[in-house]
Amino acid sequence: MRSFVEAPYPVKLSGWALFKGEPGALEPNAGVLPYDVATPLFSDFAEKYRTVWVPPGSPARYHATETFDFPVGTVLSKTFMYPRGPRTGAPEGSAGNGDRSRRLVETRLLVHAKEGWVSLPYVWDEDGKDATLGLVGTTVPVEWKDARGEVRTLAYEVPNANQCLGCHEHDKRMTPIGLKARHLNKPFAYEPGGENQLARMVRAGVLDRAPADSPHSAVWNQPASGTLEQRARAYLDANCGHCHSPHGPAASTALDLRATADTPRKLGVCKPPVAAGRGSGSTLLYDIVPGKPEESILVYRLKSTDPGVMMPEVGRTLVHEEGVELLSEWVRQMKGSCKD
């Protein structure tokens, strides 16, 4: 593993030596720890493989609700890929096992440089052997088989380096999003044995401590992991909360979709939108109307693929039907009305 804290950054992903072994096998190098998050961000059905590396002897500082405080030199990576064969139902994050039957698309790095967090998107070469720094964004044709075995195709959109800030912004500065206690407090299938991720991070010197009462999020599509309410809130937290927070790019909407939001109004219940018009379907009055998903702007925008309407506004081109179903169900069982 090599870390760079100022420009020029390596033009090839291999310049960081994050991975060893066969090119493209994503086998983490010494000190590079894979992880995943309880409920991920929907990104057009791409599968993701994430790693964290901190300079030896400098663990991140734990925080109960915010992103952990990582030292300068930290390198975080997230690789997007499409399996070529049918999905096996293998847990997310278990991809680093040398499975060659997938199309690697991009590896995004967030590096804690001297000037603050820097975003470096690397786009994989067609042969899957290395990836090249591509700051301008591009589209990559991909193909995969969905859960029903149907072949689906897509012009996958690799964001440009400026778009990263559109989601990763906290009080106007770039920040990591997923490395929070509630997203990480779950088991991970390390090789050879599984372990709680926070505990492993402490043992590996990546994190300074992991209190026994650390919060944890539900898994949006696993009913055993939480109630409908908890899973819907986990979905909103992971897919919307980075923008819809008092510190994020959508702060002006006063809609707070983080797990920490503590009133129905902050979540949009009976809240009129800041801007009427297309984004509100022209006739809809509130972000959420209890019992009425079809009258709720939040559901309407989740269902849309119109660039002027859809939420999130970047990061997807397809509708996440399963996510729409979950949030519709959540709104449907809410009691009350907006008239009284």
Residues in touch with ligand HEC (CB under 6 A): 37, 40-41, 48, 50, 76-78, 108-110, 119, 121, 159, 161, 163-164, 166-168, 176-179, 239-240, 242-244, 249-250, 253, 255, 268, 271, 273-275, 279, 287, 297-298, 301-302, 311-315
Compare residues 15 and 166 and give the one whose CB is closer to ligand HEC.
Answer: 166
- Rounded CA separation 196/199 (Å): 5
* Minimum CB distance to ligand HEC, residue 211 (Å): 21
Half-sphere exposure of 264 (CA within 13 A, CB side): 15
Cβ proximity to ligand HEC, 142 vs 243, nearer residue: 243
Q: Which is nearer to ligand HEC, 96 or 176 (CB)?
A: 176
List the structure tokens of 326: 């979950």
Could you identify the residue written with the tokens 């760079």?
Answer: 4
CB of 151 to ligand HEC, least distance (A): 25
| Least spacing, CB of residue 77 vs ligand HEC, in Å | 6
| Residue 53 Cβ vs ligand HEC, minimum distance, rounded to whole Å | 11
Nearest-10 Cα torsion for 56, 57, 58, 60: 90
Residues 6+ apart with CB under 8 A from 103: 81, 82, 84, 128, 142, 143, 144
Neighbours of 266 (CB within 10 A): 17
Residue 8: asked if its preceding bond is cis (omega within 30°), the reply is yes
Residue 149 beta carbon to ligand HEC: minimum distance, rounded to whole angstroms? 26
Report the residue number, 100 or 243, with the smaller CB distance to ligand HEC.
243
Shortest Å, Cβ 32 to ligand HEC: 13
Q: How far is CA 243 from the centre of its chain?
A: 12
CB closer to ligand HEC out of 18 and 148: 18
Tallying the residues shown for the chain, one arrives at: 340
Residue closer to ligand HEC, measured from CB, 25 or 161 = 161
Region of 57 (left: φ > 0; alpha: ψ -120 to 50; beta: rest) is left
